[in-house]
Amino acid sequence: MSWTPADPMVSLKDVHKSFGDLKVLNGVSLDVMKGDVICIIGPSGSGKSTLIRCVNALNDIQQGSILVEGLEVNDPKLDKLELRKKVGMVFQQYNLFPHKTALQNVMMAPVRVLKQDKAKAEATARALIKKVRLEGKEDAFPGELSGGQQQRVAIARSLAMQPDVILFDEVTAALDPETVGEVLQTIKELAEEGMTCILVTHEMAFAREVADHIYFTDRGVIVEHGPPATFFTNAQDPRTKEFLSQIL
Amino acid sequence: MNCKTDLPVMLPVSKPEPEPFCGLRAWHILPLALLAIFGPSLAFAQSDEGVLSPLAVLMNWAPLLLKGFIFNLVISVSAMALGTVVGAMLGLGQISLIPAVRGGSWFVTQFFRNAPWLVLLFFAMFLLPFEIDLFGLKIPFPDWLKAILGLSLPVMANVSEIVRGAVNSLPSGQWEAAESLAYTRLQTLWLIILPQCVKRMLPPWMNLYSILTMATVLASIVGVSEVMTLTGQALASEGGRPELLAPFYGFVLLLFFVYCYPIARFTVRLEKKFAVIG
């Protein structure tokens, strides 16, 4: 079975995951089409982060299926490198490499992993740093940048690998309120350019603005989902209603 | 490098300089020791005419003792180099994904880390042949080479633990970020993890070197002509005059102090520096 762009880019079917006795995902299914921006929201500990970490095999799953462009993630023979070239990831704690400059952080993987020509990779990296509005910070080390700036470098680093889908794991949760906006702006621009994005976020206003589809998770299952217009105004499930009433 | 972050950080509590004991500071040890060692000899020099003063005797022997000390340094540097190379590999073995490699490396590390250095030295001395027959070519295997091998064993085990500890001390986010960028495990180690570990490993590594340098005198017990052996021989050939003991062994102590103390100071400075940057 070969994958075509008409099929879901990412497709989860009945995904179960537990850490020891603790069940984190209890049968999650969702489809993400190419160019979709989906937001996963829900209370802490509801399995949101685990869910997207499973998509690029940072966590393994016990049961179910995760297809990324037709590639089965829950397969012991999975070529993880192949998967991770398709799937980018941005973390809550940025996780930039502190011993490398912003530019090196961005261009290192294309050179070392994709074996791109160094000059070409550098040109791309500089363009990406410009794109995330950090011109002039190419030679700064992560420790010299603010949280928001580091997170934008992390986004540029992920983009440099030309992934087909990017996972954003609560990328603004560790940021100062005044730098949250600049990071969200960057993600919004990506979304508008048609990048497929899966976001775990607590920024409801942002989710409402950029998402094509919202998923609400609680206790390891998707309780409710829908396009933002109906989701935020017309939630059906009592758990969703309660969550939204606390947060909005 | 200044560290700017939005995360709450624990700032290091700057420990107040220890209250100097009777107004003494660490470096005062040097002149005090000199006085304690050579003071009596000076007094002796004024009282007797016929015999050479202990200080003069020491001066006669000093060049030889210095040579012996340099031999100690050669042993220490060689054992450190060998122990570091093998120990680094062993340390990486301890974080291998292959259970057999991991278990084996762990066992070797723990075995040699918990063995007395002197026993390891004796082992190397008496188990290794005095020459190796390599395709008919006889390569001599002198005592000092055995001493280097013997001392490199505990160094190896300690370096292995230093490497393992440093790798484990890095936040797991570094591994995850590298993984999600499709680096192989080897690339991750080589390009991302180990470069960050070097500065973390440097202080304990230098500390280990100091300890090793001071332990090289153990080689005198197995007959290597290093500074302690030579001191003993010098004292014997001077007829075992008891008033020579303090200046001679004091001189050896001073040699080690002058060499090791700066290393210790430098290590403390590095530790302070890296404690802030993290």
Q: Where are the domains of chain B?
A: 55-274
| A145-174 residue pLDDT tens | 999 999 999 999 999 999 999 999 999 998
How close is the nearest chain A Cα to the Cα of B164, in Å? 19
pLDDT at A245: 86
Q: What pLDDT does A34 receive?
A: 93
Residue A5 in any domain: the answer is no
Q: What angle do CA B115, B117, B122 make, to 5 degrees?
A: 100
The candidate with the shortest Cα–Cα distance to A88, out of A114, A63, A62, is: A114
Task: Report whether pLDDT(A187) > 80.
Answer: yes
Using only C-alpha atoms, chain B has a radius of gyration, in whole angstroms, of: 24
The C-alpha atoms of residue B71 and residue B252 are separated, in whole angstroms, by 13
Average per-residue pLDDT in chain A? 92
Q: What's the order of all strands across the beta sheet hosting A221-226?
A: A87-90, A165-169, A196-200, A37-41, A213-218, A221-226
Cα gap A157→A114, rounded to integer Å: 13
Three-state secondary structure call for residue B24: strand
Question: Looking at the domain assignment, is residue A208 inside a domain?
Answer: yes
H helix or E strand, kind and range, residue A136: none
The Cα B160–Cα A160 span in angstroms is 36
- Please give the CATH superfamily to which domain B55-274 belongs: MetI-like (1.10.3720.10)
CB contact under 8 A, A113 and B183: yes
- Inter-residue contact A93 to A117 (CB < 8 Å): no
Burial of B187 (0-12, 13-18, 19+ CB in 10 A): middle
| A1 is a domain residue | no
Q: Which of A93, A141, A145, A169 to mutate to test the interface with B (most CBs of B within 10 A)?
A: A93
Per-residue model confidence (pLDDT) at position B42: 59
Residues in B touching A98 (Cβ below 8 Å): 196
**Is position A2 within any domain?**
no
- pLDDT > 70? residue A196: yes
pLDDT confidence of residue B23 = 65
* A232 inside domain: yes
The yes-or-no verdict on residue A93 having pLDDT over 80 is yes
d(CA B104, CA B90): 9
- Average pLDDT of adjacent 10-residue blocks, chain B of 278 residues: 51 59 67 68 55 85 93 96 97 95 97 95 86 78 90 97 95 95 95 92 94 93 89 90 90 94 90 66
ipTM for the complex shown = 0.92
Q: How far apart, in Å, are the Cα atoms of A169 and each of A40, A49, A56, A62, B115?
A: 10, 6, 12, 21, 47
- Tell which phi-psi region holds residue B23, choosing left (phi > 0), alpha (psi between -120 and 50) or beta: left
Which pLDDT value is given to residue B30?
A: 72
Q: What is the pTM of this model?
A: 0.80
For residue A150, CA distances in Å to A87, A105, A143, A202, B181 come to 20, 10, 9, 19, 16
Q: What is the CATH number for A144?
A: 3.40.50.300
Q: Calculate how close chain A gets to B192, using CA atoms only, in Å.
A: 7
Residue B32 CB-density burial (10 A; 0-12 exposed, 13-18 middle, 19+ buried): exposed
Residues of chain A with pLDDT > 70, as a percent, come to: 99
Residue A165 lies in a domain: yes
Angle between helices B54-94 and B143-169 (to 10 degrees): 50
Nearest to A53 by CA among A36, A28, A77: A28
In a domain, A209, yes or no: yes
* Domains of chain A: total: 1
Alpha-carbon Rg of chain A, whole angstroms?
18
Residues of A in contact with B171 (CB under 8 A): 93, 95
Range of the domain at A203: 10-247
Question: What secondary structure letter does DSSP report for B222?
Answer: G
Is A97's CB within 8 Å of B277's CB? no
The answer for A 136-155 residues in CB contact with B (under 8 A) is 141, 143-148, 154
